[in-house]
Structure 1
C-alpha cells in the first residue's frame, strides 16, 4: 500500500470531517422534523379529544330534550303540546344536522366521496337551505337577503353544494348578533359559480382565519366556548370545495362579520338531463330540456 503524504492525509481527514459534519447536520434536520411531527400529532390528539367532548354534548343534549319532552307528551302531562313539539323538532333538526356533518366528514376523509353531477337550480337550492334554517334565524330576529338569479342553472354536485351552503348559513346564523343581517349572493361568471354568504356577526381575527378551516378546530373552546358546533363545518366546506375543483375564501375582521366566498368551476358531464332543485332530482326527456 502506497504511503500517504502529509498533504493527502490532511485532505483525507478534511473530507471525513466534512462527511461527519454533513451527517450531523442531516441528523439535526431529521430530529427537528421528527419533533415537528410529534408536536403535530400531540396537537391532533388534543383536538380529537376536544372534538369527542364537544360532539358528546352536541348529541346528548338534543337527545335528552327529545326523550324528555316526548315522554311528557306520551303521559299527557305537558301543558303546551305545540310548544313541546316545536322544541322536539328543533332539537331533532340540530341532531340530524350534526350527524350528517359527521357522516360526510368521514366520507371526505376516507376519500369515498365522489361528485354526482346534475344541472342544479341554484335559486331553488338557496331557497331550500334558507327554509330549513328559517326558524333559527327568526329566533335571533335576523334579516336574510338573497341576490340569486331565478334562472341560474349550474352543472355541479347538488348534494355537496347543499351541504356546503347548509354549513355556511348555519355558521352565519350561529355567529350573528341578534337583529343582524345575512346575505346570500350567487352569480355565474366565466363558467364559474360564485356564491357568497355574508354576515354582520362577531367576525374572526386575522390570526385565526386559516385555522378555522382545520378539522375539529374552534376559536372558542372549553369554558370559553359560547357557541354550538363541533369544529367540522368549515373543514367540510373546504374539503367539499376541493372535491368539486373549487375553493373557499374568508374575509373578516373581529367585530365586523364574515364574508365566505365560494368559487366552483362547472363540471363537464353528459348528464344534463338531470335537474336538481331544492335537493331533489328530476329527469327530463329530450323534448323537455330547456
Structure 2
C-alpha cells in the first residue's frame, strides 16, 4: 500500500512540476509578447513622428525653394522690361545673385542630406588648405554679412594644411556661418577660430544672437527638426543645416558640440582628425568648391 501511495505521489509531483513548467513558460511567453508589443508600439510612434517631421520638412522646403525662385523670376522680369535702366540693373543684379545663392545653398544641403541618408556620401580625402576653404566661404557670404552689417572676427592659423575632404569641410563651415548669421542681430558679431589641435583641425564659430534654451539643445542636430518656438521662432530654415554638419563631421571621424544659453548666442565647435593616407595618391589642390565664386557688385 505504501509503495502504491509513493508511486501516486511521484506521479502527482511530476504532474505538478509539468504544470508549473508550462505556467512558467506561458508567463515568459506572455512577458516576451508584451515586450515585443511595447517595442512595436514604440517603433510605430517613431515612424509616425518621422513621417510628421518629413511632411513638415517637405512643406517647409517648398517655401524655401519657391520664395527665392519667385523673387528671381520677378527681379529678372524687371531687367527684361527695363533693359536700358542702368540704375535698375545696379540695384536688381545683386538681389538676383543673393536669391540665387541662397537657393543654391539650400539645394546643396538637400543633396548632401539625401546622400547621407542613402549612405552614398563617402569622404574624398586629399591635402586641404583649410585657411583657403574658410576664406572662400567668407567671400561667398560677403553680401549676406553686409546686408545685416555683421562683423566677422576671425583667427585662422596659417599655413594650415590637413588631410581631409575639402567639399564636406566647406559645407560644414557654410552651414555654421549661415546659422550664425541668421540668428545674429543687425550690427552683430561672429567669431571664427581655426587652428590645429591634437593632430587635427579645431573649428569654432560663435555668434552673439538669441541663443538656444538648454531644453532644446538636444534637438538641434536632429534631421528635419527645426525649433518652432522660443529662441528660433520666426526664422527661416528647413532643419537640415546642423544635422548635416554633425553627419559630415562623424563621417570624417570627427565630432561637433554646441554650447548656448538664451540671450547669450551660440558656440559650435568642430574637431576633425587628420586621416592617415598617402596624399601623393590624391590631387595636390583639393580646394574645389561647390559654390560659384562671389561676384563683384
Fold shared, TM-score > 0.5 on shorter chain = yes
Corresponding position: 1:68 with 2:57: no
- State which of 10, 28, 40 in structure 1 corresponds to 2:16: 10
CA deviation string 1:218-237 (max 9, x = no partner): 0117xx84112111111111
5 Å-filtered alignment, 1:181-220, equals 181-220=189-228
Partner of 2:173: 165
CA deviation string 1:25-46 (max 9, x = no partner): 1111111111110000110111
Distance 2:288 2:240 in 1: 23
Q: What TM-score results when the alignment is normalised by the length of structure 1?
A: 0.90
Q: CA deviation at 1:277?
A: 4.1
5 Å-filtered alignment, 1:106-121, equals 106-121=114-129
Distance 1:10 1:157 in 2: 69
CA deviation string 1:5-36 (max 9, x = no partner): 22222222221111111111111111111111
Unmatched runs of 5 consecutive residues or more in structure 1: 281-290
| 1:49–1:225 Cα change, 3 Å | farther
Distance 1:111 1:263 in 2: 22
SS at match of 2:79: helix
CA deviation string 1:68-123 (max 9, x = no partner): 11112111177622111111111101100001111111111111112111211111
Larger-Rg structure: 2
Partner of 2:247: 239
CA contact (8 A) 2:127 2:285 kept: yes
Partner of 1:148: 156
CA contact (8 A) 2:64 2:238 kept: yes
Q: What TM-score results when the alignment is normalised by the length of structure 2?
A: 0.88
Corresponding position: 1:274 with 2:284: yes
CA contact (8 A) 1:124 1:278 kept: no
CA contact (8 A) 1:143 1:182 kept: yes
Aligned residue-pair number:
277
SS at match of 2:34: helix
- State which of 29, 32, 35 in structure 2 corresponds to 1:29: 35
Partner of 2:64: 58
SS at match of 1:16: helix
5 Å-filtered alignment, 1:77-156, equals 80-156=88-164
Unmatched runs of 5 consecutive residues or more in structure 2: 1-6, 291-297
Let me know the Cα RMSD of the aligned residues. 1.8
Runs of 4+ in 1 over 3 A off after TM superposition: 276-280
Q: CA deviation at 1:131?
A: 1.1
SS at match of 1:274: coil
- State which of 29, 41, 47 in structure 1 corresponds to 2:53: 47
CA contact (8 A) 2:167 2:287 kept: no
Higher alpha-carbon deviation: 58-67 or 111-120: 111-120
Partner of 1:286: none
Distance 2:177 2:288 in 1: 15
CA contact (8 A) 2:79 2:88 kept: no
Partner of 1:260: 268
